[in-house]
Structure 1
Amino acid sequence: MNSEIEAQIRECEARLYAAMSASEVSELDALIADDLLFAGPTGELATKAMDLDLHRTGGTQFHEFVPKELEIQVWSENFVLASARIFLSGIYLGNAFAGDYRYMRVWRKGKSGWQIAGGSVTAIV
């Protein structure tokens, strides 16, 4: 059961990476829970609406997106913690960035399937 859930989350993470890289708002909308709370690299809290708006308007643009590792802990049949290390470069609100980042994501399974309900991203220095 855990290996099946882990495989589902790996597939969701791959879909998420592709959607983030291309700012594919409809796919991001499907993968992110309406009640998302996400802590950004400077500690600010973001909601789903804020994240989708950044992709829609070009406030977030990725030039490089290179996944390096993905660890998954299955907490239950409805909750999973994913930790990803990704090399990113791009522009966020007009500022260029590049480096390795650690994403922590809580995936929750509901009526719409697996969606991200919470998380954070931190620069690895």
Structure 2
Amino acid sequence: MYDLTAAKALALWAALHLVLLLLLSGRVVRLRRRHRVAIGDAGVPELTAAQRAFGNAAEYIGPTLGGLAALVLVNAPALLIHGVGALFFAGRVLHGYGMSQTVQPGRGRVLGMMLTYTALIALVASLVVYLI
């Protein structure tokens, strides 16, 4: 069986990442309404950036949560799941913020991707260690 504390850690990070997706999606919806755009970005740079910030988050969050779930299944400690989850979440928040800046690439965007990749590397390494 798996560690209930680790499962709760996973649930926390899943919930926080879903909230982030909702916030990023809400920004897209607000910009679509403001610029009266039903589909696509109509060439509005701010909307294009908001869509990519949401899309990028959606592309990374699902697989990473799957990896964190795999850590739960191999009985990794909750502290490891919290560490990777927090690092990844910080990266996604910074990236989303950086994507909203007018000067690109924004510092938040670059730092966010660095933290995201660091979390992903830590996740992969942890999975390999727990499989050995």
Name the TM-score, length of structure 2 as normaliser: 0.33
- Structure 1 or 2: larger helix share? 2
Name the TM-score, length of structure 1 as normaliser: 0.34
- Structure 1 or 2: larger strand share? 1
